[in-house]
């Protein structure tokens, strides 16, 4: 499976995919990484692994590259790399509907909540403030509406009594590092067929253990 990964941050989930590629635990090839931040540690991880990295970030003027310019260059890269799958792993810009439709393969996103609950940012604080008993992470198909695409897989945890947003973030991150390769494995085995799900398939394997 040829994968392109979009990142903005530390890239710990990218690292999990790099490790799986290098140790052969998953038959994947990371054909390229796109970062919208030049200072993202994910860029270092990709370069260290010898993966092509495209940094599409603000220029010397210090101005933020417009989303239209970012998307134009990102699309050129994706069309060159020809991935089978695009993974958003800690990618922190909202993408336009035009871009999402133009991407030449399915695109999935990793989100730190049990979707459809807690879309958007700052999920750990919000979950704690609401007094939830459970939290977790989801991998879902990317659609123009933020964090609203079909959920493909989830991993969950029970919130402890002395939990903080920081402890939750760490626990959820550990889950993410298992959920990402698990999801890729389901895609590779054909258990999750993204093309048919995108086409509106109404059955799937979405574990919702707490509902
Ligand atoms: C993860 O928590 C993911 O759910 C969110 O951004 C974070 C990425 O972490 N979308 P990393 O860059 O992979 O370390």
In which band, very low, low, confident or very high, does the pLDDT at 197 lie, cut at 50, 70 and 90?
confident
In which band, very low, low, confident or very high, does the pLDDT at 62 lie, cut at 50, 70 and 90?
low
* 89 C-alpha to ligand 1 centroid (Å): 6
Q: Which fold has domain 110-211?
A: Rossmann fold (3.40.50)
Q: Among residues 9, 21, 71, 80, which one has the least CA distance to residue 51?
A: 21
Q: 41: burial class by Cβ within 10 Å (0-12, 13-18, 19+)?
A: middle
CATH architecture classification, 1-105: 3-Layer(aba) Sandwich (3.40)
Residue-wise pLDDT tens digits, 9-58: 999 999 999 999 999 999 999 999 999 999 999 999 999 999 999 999 86
d(CA 81, CA 76): 9
Residue-wise pLDDT tens digits, 86-109: 999 999 999 999 999 999 999 999
Concerning whether 124 is annotated as a catalytic residue, the answer is: no
Nearest CA to ligand 1 atom 8: 90
Nearest CA to ligand 1 atom 12: 11
**Residue 110 Cα: closest atom of ligand 1:** 4
Q: Which of 52, 58, 101, 111 is catalytic?
A: 111
Please report the DSSP string for the chain in residue order. Answer: -EEEEEESS--HHHHHHHHHHHHTSS--EEEEEEES-TT-HHHHHHHHTT--EEE----TT-PPPPHHHHHHHHHHHHHHH--SEEEESS--SPPPHHHHHHSSS-EEEEESS-TTSS-SS-HHHHHHHTT-SEEEEEEEE--SSTT-SPEEEEEEEEPPTT--HHHHHHHHHHHHHHHHHHHHHHHHHTSS-HHHHHTT--------TT-
Report domain extents, the chain. 1-105, 110-211
Which residues line ligand 1 at a C-beta cut-off of 6 Å? 9-14, 42, 89-90, 110-112, 137, 173, 176
- Stated pTM of the model: 0.94
């Amino acid at each position: 499976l040829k994968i392109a990964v979009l990142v903005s941050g530390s890239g710990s989930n990218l690292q999990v995919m790099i490790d799986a590629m290098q140790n052969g635990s998953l038959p994947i090839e990371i054909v390229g990484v796109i970062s919208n931040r030049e200072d993202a540690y994910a860029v270092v991880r990709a370069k260290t692994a010898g993966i092509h990295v495209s940094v599409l970030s603000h220029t010397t003027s210090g101005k933020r590259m417009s989303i239209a310019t970012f998307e134009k260059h990102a699309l050129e890269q994706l069309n060159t790399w020809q991935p089978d799958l695009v993974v958003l792993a800690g990618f922190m810009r909202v993408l336009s509907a035009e871009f999402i439709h133009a991407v030449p393969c399915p695109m999935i996103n990793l989100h730190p909540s049990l979707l459809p609950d807690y879309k958007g940012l700052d999920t750990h604080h919000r979950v704690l403030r609401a007094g939830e008993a459970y939290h977790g992470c989801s991998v879902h198909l990317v659609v123009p509406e933020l964090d609203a695409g079909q959920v493909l897989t989830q991993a969950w945890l029970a919130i402890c009594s002395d939990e903080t947003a920081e402890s939750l973030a760490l626990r959820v991150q550990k889950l993410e590092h298992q959920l990402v390769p698990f999801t890729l494995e389901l895609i590779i085995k054909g258990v999750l067929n993204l093309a048919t799900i995108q086409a509106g398939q109404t059955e799937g394997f979405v574990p919702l253990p707490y509902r």
